[in-house]
Amino acid sequence: MCPAYLRKKPTRIEGGIRDSQEGFHWCNLFCRAIGNSKSTLNMSLFMTVDMPTSNQARDTEKRTKAKRALALKDEALLAECQTTFFVAGGPGGQHRNKTASAVRIVHSATGLTVTASERRSQARNRKVALERLREALKELTKTAPPRKPSRPTLGSKQRRMAEKKRQGEKKASRRRPPEE
């Protein structure tokens, strides 16, 4: 039996195990993760895994994070992101091919990644990448309009029924004739 403090379902599970089913008893999973082996125990000391959530909840969470990020100024948004510089090839001569002027920005809250390597200047590429990040965040904040349920038309019903009848006749013709 699990201790009382493990019976409550937390928002996170310690350990390196992720279960795709949402209906598992997390306490047993936690106890198994700790008790299996020494390596699992060591893993549980530094890894945390998010509980699986539904796609709709995950999308809503990303949307709110994107809205919050869009409200930030450029400096604050860049501080929230991981920026890396790398060497990009292409036209631009030696200055572009030998210097790390290309920029990759990863927004860790939403998981968006944007790159810019068109220009020879790192500062210009950073500005362009930031603009692209803002555009991607705007796309993330958009929600699909709710679907209005519609009924099939009379013509589509008739076509579907005719197709079913043709399929039934085709299957009937493949059957063995009844033995008498």
Closest CA relative to residue 117, chosen from 107, 109, 105, 108: 105
Domain boundaries in the chain?
Answer: 4-50, 59-141
Instruction: Quick: pLDDT tens for 51-76.
Output: 545 677 778 888 999 999 999 999 99
| Greater pLDDT, 159 or 91 | 159
With a cut of 50, say whether residue 85 has pLDDT above it. Answer: yes
What does the radius of gyration of the chain's CA atoms come to, in whole angstroms? 28
- Give the mean model confidence (pLDDT) for residues 106-125: 91
CA distance 95 to 117: 12
* Cβ contact 64:35 at 8 Å: no
CATH topology of domain 59-141: Double Stranded RNA Binding Domain (3.30.160)
Closest CA relative to residue 80, chosen from 110, 122, 35: 110
Instruction: Quick: pLDDT tens for 87-105.
Output: 987 777 777 778 888 999 9
| Greater pLDDT, 24 or 54 | 54
